[in-house]
Amino acid sequence: MDQSPAAVAQVLDHELIVRKQKLILAVIADDRDTVERLLGEGVPVDSKNSEGVSTLHWASSEGVLNMIRLLIKRGGDVNAVDKRGLTPLHSAAAHGQTEAVRELIRNGACKSAIAGTFGSPLQQAHLMDIQRL
C-alpha cells in the first residue's frame, strides 16, 4: 500500500467526502444524534455536495425545521450559495416550505439575493404562492 503523503491525503480527502455525505443524509433524515456526532467529529457544518448544495440548503428544501435551527445554531451560513447561485432561502421557497422560509428570514437570510434565471427567493415564493413573507 502506498504510504506517500499524496496517497495519504487522497484517502483522507475521500474519508471527509464520505463523512460530508453522511452529514447531508442525516440532516435530511432529521437524525439529530448523527448530525451532532458528525459535527463533533469535525465535519464542517456547511458541508456541500459536488453541486455546492449545503446541509442548510437540504434542510431548507425538505422543510426540516429542527435541522435548520440546529445548523444555524452551529454556525451554518443562511446565505450560502450553491454553484447555481441559489441560497437556502431559494431552496425553501422553491419547494413551498413556508415555515423554513420564515425561519431562515428570522435568522438573517437575504430575501433579495438574485440567482440568475431563478430570480430572488421572493420570486420563488410567489411562484409557490407563499404569502406574507
Q: How far apart are CA 84 and CA 98, in angstroms?
A: 22
The pLDDT score that the predictor gives to residue 14 is: 76
Element spanning 125, H or E = helix 121-127
> Domain limits of the chain?
5-127
| pLDDT higher than threshold 80 for residue 116 | no
CB 59 within 8 A of CB 27: yes
The pLDDT score that the predictor gives to residue 71 is: 98
The pLDDT score that the predictor gives to residue 53 is: 93
Fold category of 5-127 in CATH: 1.25.40
CB 30 within 8 A of CB 58: no
| pLDDT higher than threshold 70 for residue 74 | yes
Query: What residues are paired with 54 via a beta bridge?
Result: 48
Give one DSSP letter per residue of 8-54, joined into a string: HHHHHHHHHHHHHHHHHHHHHTT-HHHHHHHHHTT--TT-B-TT--B
Q: How far apart are CA 100 and CA 89, in angstroms?
A: 8
The pLDDT score that the predictor gives to residue 7 is: 46
The confidence band for 38, taking pLDDT boundaries of 50, 70 and 90, is very high
Higher-confidence residue of 1 and 98: namely 98
- What does the pLDDT look like over 58-69, one tens digit per residue? 999 999 999 999
The pLDDT score that the predictor gives to residue 104 is: 96
| pLDDT higher than threshold 70 for residue 28 | yes
Sole residue written with cell 447561485: 85
CA atoms within 13 Å, Cβ hemisphere of 94: 16
Q: How far apart are CA 1 and CA 19, in angstroms?
A: 23
Sole residue written with cell 421557497: 93
The pLDDT score that the predictor gives to residue 8 is: 43
